[in-house]
């Protein structure tokens, strides 16, 4: 099973957009690989529509989407056609056909206690091919696409600014849309921060909880 901070496994997969070579094909871009239990199921259909409605927002932050299940390519194609015809939404991102289960086994997507279908998993991969975030959902609960988009934005901001992101950012209950400065590395830095907080030169609750605007 792939873990956080590890390189996304190299693989060549078949999809509705043809053969994909991962993660090389998306080098220089973020991408999200998300597995769903099965085509032609209600919760999965709502998720695909929700992902597609955010497709352009993901593109704007240099992030691609890739779906996956153990269904065959023809099933994916027919399902995508059904979504377009019946719901009026065109799915623009590729869907991997893992009908032999090879990708799912490699990625830890088959939980035998829950059946032979792929679980609702999300892998966020950075431009260097490193897995940065993993989410798992049960079959009966659909994903929150806004949270996945928020998480990618938070990771990108953290990488760019060298900061940490608070809960519910950018609407945190304590510090609003501000971000957290990494902890002090030694006693001297800690005391200097505390003094700056007292003088109003830094914002914070204590030397270990300092924040700022970005």
How far apart, in Å, are the Cα atoms of 90 and each of 83, 85, 165? 7, 9, 34
Neighbours of 199 (CB within 10 A): 8
List, in sequence order, the alpha helices (H) in 36-165.
42-53, 55-60, 73-87, 102-107, 145-161
Q: Which of 74, 79, 73, 51 minimizes the C-alpha distance to 64?
A: 51
Q: How far apart are the first and last CA of the chain?
A: 36
Active site residue 63: no
Which candidate in 33, 44, 124, 152 is catalytic? 44
Pull the structure tokens for residue 177.
């849309």
Distance CA 149, CA 124 (A): 10
Q: Are 109 and 118 in contact (CB under 8 A)?
A: yes
**Residue 135, CA atoms < 13 Å, CB-side half-sphere:** 21
List residues with catalytic annotation. Answer: 44
């Amino acid at each position: 099973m792939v873990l956080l901070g590890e390189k996304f496994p190299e693989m060549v997969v078949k999809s509705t957009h043809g053969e994909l070579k991962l993660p090389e094909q998306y080098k220089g871009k973020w991408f999200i690989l998300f597995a769903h239990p099965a085509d032609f199921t209600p919760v999965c259909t709502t998720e695909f529509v929700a992902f597609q409605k955010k497709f352009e927002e993901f593109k704007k932050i240099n992030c691609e989407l890739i779906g996956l299940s153990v269904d065959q390519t023809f099933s994916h194609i027919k399902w995508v056609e059904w979504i377009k015809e019946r719901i009026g939404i065109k799915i623009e991102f590729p869907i991997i056909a893992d009908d032999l289960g090879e990708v799912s086994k490699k990625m830890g997507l088959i939980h035998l206690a829950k059946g032979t279908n792929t679980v609702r998993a999300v892998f966020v991969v950075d431009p260097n091919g490193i897995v940065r975030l993993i989410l798992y959902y049960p079959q009966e609960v659909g994903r929150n696409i806004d949270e996945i988009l928020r998480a990618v934005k938070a990771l990108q901001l953290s990488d760019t600014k060298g900061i940490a992101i608070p809960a519910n950012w950018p609407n945190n209950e304590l510090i609003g849309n501000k971000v957290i400065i990494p902890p002090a590395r030694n006693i001297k830095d800690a005391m200097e921060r505390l003094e700056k907080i007292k003088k109003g030169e830094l914002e914070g609750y204590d030397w270990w909880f300092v924040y700022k605007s970005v």
